[in-house]
Structure 1
Amino acid sequence: MGRNIDYGNLMHDAMRGLIRKVLQDVADNGLPGAHHFFITFDTSHPDAELADWLSDRYPGEMTVVMQHWYDKLEVTDDGFSITLNFGDAPEPLYIPYDAIKTFVDPSVEFGLRFESQDATDGDDLLATRADQEKHEVVPAPIEHTDHSDAKKKPGKKDADVVSLDSFRKH
């Protein structure tokens, strides 16, 4: 029996390395210009760390926004830790790279979506300007980190299907 090159996992590793490099640059230099990130991750991942009330509220996946307010961003080889504001409650999170389901920077029309490891077709989805219209990102409810929302109670809402075309500049 011959061996096969596992392109799916190699692509996942490369894209997670890209996310690590982007986050390290942000940790070192801050978010440039209008850049901001929507990061959807698996809250049930064994290495993910988040407050019990967040994992209870988002038992499968959660999308966080890294934009106006974040603190203590630390990037490692396996994941990153960050403190985000959830309705006037700063909460530390640790997100392993292999728990990330989507990573989107709408300011430059860039997005990545990772298929689960048990996907049968082995195809990985990489959404770039050339093929964004072919793929959709399904985020969990988004908790805004803007201080103007700090006095509001976060409301639970159903997930929306957001086409990456909505981030395209017209």
Structure 2
Amino acid sequence: MPRDIDYGNLMHQAMRGLIRTVLKDVRDNGLPGAHHFFITFDTKHPEVKIAEWLTQRYPAEMTVVMQHWYDNLEVDEDGFSVTLNFGDAPEPIYIPYDAIKTFVDPSVEFGLRFEAAEESDEDEAGPEANAEPEIPQEDARSDADVVSLDSFRK
């Protein structure tokens, strides 16, 4: 029986490995310069751990910002945990890598978008650079700079 190489899945695994490597470096050395991340994830994923009030507020997906204030960043093979500030209320969250929909660092015009296989045949090719996540204003901290990524698209 012939077997196919699943390039889309292999690409997603490689890109999630890249996110893991970046987060390990941030854990060990902090965020350098103007780097910061917008991370959109599926709040319905069975391994996501967020406070009940966040699940109620964001029943499908949520975008978090890692920039000026974050604490207790832990990175493992399957995901990462971090404490973030939500309106002056520190909340620990856990995000498995396979729950991530977008990972964007606008300071260097870098972005990844993970498409679900069932969305379309074209999307199975893998992540796309310069993705623009939807960033609800209430997710962004008041002192965070929210940058539109449309200006980075070619």
Q: TM-score scaled by structure 2?
A: 0.88
Cα distance between partner residues in 2 of 1:4 and 1:167 = 35
Aligned residue number for residue 95 of structure 2: 95
Cα distance between partner residues in 2 of 1:72 and 1:145 = 18
1:145 CA displacement: 4.1
Q: What residue identity is the alignment partner of 2:24?
A: Q
Aligned alpha-carbon RMSD (Å): 1.9
Aligned residue number for residue 114 of structure 1: 114
SS at match of 1:103: strand
Poorly superposed stretches of 4+, deviation over 4 Å: none
In structure 2, runs of 5+ residues without a counterpart are none
38-47 or 118-127, which moves further after superposition?
118-127
SS at match of 1:34: coil
Cα distance between partner residues in 2 of 1:88 and 1:7 = 43
For these two proteins, the number of residue pairs brought into alignment is 148
**Percentage of pairs with the same residue:** 71
SS at match of 2:48: coil
Q: TM-score scaled by structure 1?
A: 0.80
In structure 2, the CA distance between the partners of 1:47 and 1:163, relative to structure 1 (3 Å rule), is: same
1:141 CA displacement: 1.7
In structure 1, runs of 5+ residues without a counterpart are 150-161
Q: What residue identity is the alignment partner of 1:57?
A: R
Q: Does 1:139 align with 2:134?
A: yes
1:167 CA displacement: 4.9
Q: What residue identity is the alignment partner of 2:150?
A: D
